[in-house]
Structure 1
Amino acid sequence: MHSHHSHSGDYIAHGVDPLEDVTNRAIEMKFHTYCMTEHMPRINPKYLYPEEHLDRADDTAAVEKLHSDFAKFLDHAQKIKSRENSAGTTFLIGVEIEGCDQEHIEYARKLLEEKRGIVQFSVGSIHHVDGIPIDFDQDAWNRALATSQNNLKKLLLSYFDLQYCMLMRLQPLVVGHFDLYKLYLPKDLKVDLETGYCVENGTSISNLSLIKQWKQVQDSVIRNLKYIESYGGAIEINTSALRKKLPEPYPGKDIGLLAKEYAGGRFVLSDDAHAVSQVGVCYDEALKYIVEDLKLDKMYYITEGPIDRAVKLESIPIEQFKSHAFWSTNFSKKAL
């Protein structure tokens, strides 16, 4: 079994448990491959989260801590990677890109070049629209919508445009939580179907596929997927959405089927764990989604070369994927 995206409480403020404990759980659960992918350090203080502020009078120290913590993570991850373990779990070292804006994307490009000998791949993800985080809390999501002129269609287009910029500049091997904007998307939101503006007498979005509803949005998604296909990237099936009580993982079925058609059908699995209790979280539900909803005949995972540690995507037939020793541990159903 595999996870291509994980975090710990050692190196990010919103994580919980130490990296050693997270990776030990992956060994205990008999993971085949587990990737350590802490967030890249942000460079602009305006993107600091509340829990990251050390001194509100001077955020320079807080930004510097993000950079020092990332350096410590890389050192620690190399030690974990080099150890033998009882399950033979392969640990890979990656980084989750924070495509906050163009400046941060360009910094990520520089960072990946500087750390090429250590960082083996990146998880490319978007967490902001117009500089506002969309997965932090409901208030921030609402502010992002307001900045988009209270127009849901515009918010989605802004999200996918920034994602496209990130894809073109960085070509991440794994594209993380493709439709993260849906985490705080209000179920009772009503929109004008023609314009996308949120209006009281509009149509409820609860039973709509927003991707299919607006051709311009669907075209943006397909554009991004085609680009991912062009350089050989993979779409992450991220179970943190299920952990957070959404009905589908990231991406949902509407985007998942488009990815199957336009992005070469390359999907990898991730738990996006931030704590020991989240390792392998909701994988039983993800398996059902993979087999019954997307009807995939194979899954992908990252492997590395024996000499230069260069990584590439390998496929595994779905029947072999389903028979991995991980499923017999029954941990996936117990994870919270």
Structure 2
Amino acid sequence: MLCDYHVHTYYSDDSDYPMEQVVKDAIQQGISELCFTDHVDYGVKLDHHAAGADDPANRLNVDYPAYFKEFTKLQEQYQKEIRLRFGLEFGIQTGTIPKFEQLFSAYPFDFVLLSIHQVNNQEFWLGDFQQGKTEEECYQEYYHELLSVVKNYHHYSCLAHLDLIRRYVNKEENTFEANKEILTEILQYIIADGKGIEVNTSSVRYQIPDTTPSKDILRLYRQLGGKIITIGSDSHKPDELGAHIEESRKLLKELGFQHYCTFQEMKPVFHPL
């Protein structure tokens, strides 16, 4: 069964991929189950109803009512051809947790990805966060923020692209050993909390010479008893949808995992690799 559990549409501010076209393309590819995970990043983006949302200089979060309405329509329309799951990607910071608590309570989620895209409202992709810091400091601050968030927020399913910061610093360097202690603490905590991680196949298009998260992190997760794992393309356009899903399943099996997961109503469903 082919599934993609990290998919963006034109409800994310960094994509113009129509939601229905995503569904049609997924069906064409033979994808059996797909979860939409459009971006929400409080602290650096505004909700559509917020003051200042009409200023084109401001970036916006998902238009939640429109997103849910279109999802519900497509889920019913294409139910005989594909299983669609409702999700979002929560770009959380410690200070924005209360807003995400409110958002989570407002909709019937199947799946939520927890991401760290910025710290202290400083974006990684713009380079603001990295400015004036060594790579070692970037990793340390990133992982400490992630640990703080997972200890204080619990309404999510999996950690997205766990070592994301590698995408924005030296991609060639594997910093696993330098950060193994805090990575172990993060993974032990989320395992005890009943949460999982994802394999994010965008590492290929970002030309990272490893998986995301790294194979070392995946091995550590398994060694610590982690079993909940999803696979997602992190797609924003047609040629990214479903990319490298099959290769990732083979890799997980080689690393000793026995299952991958999909989700329904925030509960993992295990499938043999």
**TM over 0.5, yes or no?**
yes
Aligned partner of 2:166 among 182, 188, 198? 182
> TM-score, normalized by length of structure 2?
0.87
Question: Does the Cα contact within 8 Å between 1:239 and 1:270 map onto a contact in 2?
Answer: yes
Match of 2:76 in 1: 82
Residue 2 in 1 paired to residue 26 in 2? Answer: no
Match of 1:234 in 2: 196
What aligned pairs does 1:213-228 form with structure 2 within 5 A after superposition?
214=178, 217-228=179-190
In the TM superposition, what is the alpha-carbon distance from 1:155 to its structure 2 partner? 1.7
Q: Secondary structure at the match of 2:86?
A: strand
Match of 2:24 in 1: 24
Residue 98 in 1 paired to residue 91 in 2? Answer: yes
In the TM superposition, what is the alpha-carbon distance from 1:90 to its structure 2 partner? 1.0
Match of 2:140 in 1: 157
In the TM superposition, what is the alpha-carbon distance from 1:41 to its structure 2 partner? 5.4
Match of 1:144 in 2: 129
Question: Does the Cα contact within 8 Å between 1:38 and 1:70 map onto a contact in 2?
Answer: no
> TM-score, normalized by length of structure 1?
0.72
**Letter of the aligned partner of 1:70 in structure 2?**
Y
Q: Quick one: distance in 1 between partners of 2:134 and 2:60?
A: 34
Aligned partner of 1:126 among 116, 120, 129? 116
Extract unaligned runs of 5+ from structure 1. 53-57, 188-205, 305-309, 319-336
What aligned pairs does 1:299-314 form with structure 2 within 5 A after superposition?
299-302=260-263, 304=264, 310-314=265-269
Extract unaligned runs of 5+ from structure 2. none
Aligned partner of 1:297 among 248, 258, 261? 258
Question: Does the Cα contact within 8 Å between 1:41 and 1:70 map onto a contact in 2?
Answer: no
Q: Report Cα offsets for 1:81-131 as digits up to 9, x if no partner.
A: 2224453x21110111011x323222111210122xx32331101111343
| Largest Rg, 1 or 2 | 1
In the TM superposition, what is the alpha-carbon distance from 1:263 to its structure 2 partner? 4.9
Going from structure 1 to structure 2, the CA distance change for 1:4 and 1:48 (only over 3 Å counts) comes to same
Q: Secondary structure at the match of 1:243?
A: coil
Q: Quick one: distance in 2 between partners of 1:68 and 1:25?
A: 22
Q: Percent identity?
A: 21
Residue 250 in 1 paired to residue 244 in 2? Answer: no
In the TM superposition, what is the alpha-carbon distance from 1:26 to its structure 2 partner? 1.3
Q: Quick one: distance in 1 between partners of 2:17 and 2:61?
A: 20
Residue 168 in 1 paired to residue 168 in 2? Answer: no
**Letter of the aligned partner of 1:113 in structure 2?**
S
In the TM superposition, what is the alpha-carbon distance from 1:270 to its structure 2 partner? 0.7
Q: Over aligned residue pairs, what C-alpha RMSD do you find?
A: 2.5
Q: Report Cα offsets for 1:200-245 as digits up to 9, x if no partner.
A: xxxxxx4x53121x2xx22211111111111211110010111222
Q: Quick one: distance in 2 between partners of 1:160 and 1:82?
A: 40
Match of 2:272 in 1: 317
In the TM superposition, what is the alpha-carbon distance from 1:68 to its structure 2 partner? 6.7
Q: Secondary structure at the match of 1:177?
A: coil
Question: Does the Cα contact within 8 Å between 1:98 and 1:105 map onto a contact in 2?
Answer: no
Which structure has greater strand proportion? Answer: 2
In the TM superposition, what is the alpha-carbon distance from 1:174 to its structure 2 partner? 1.6
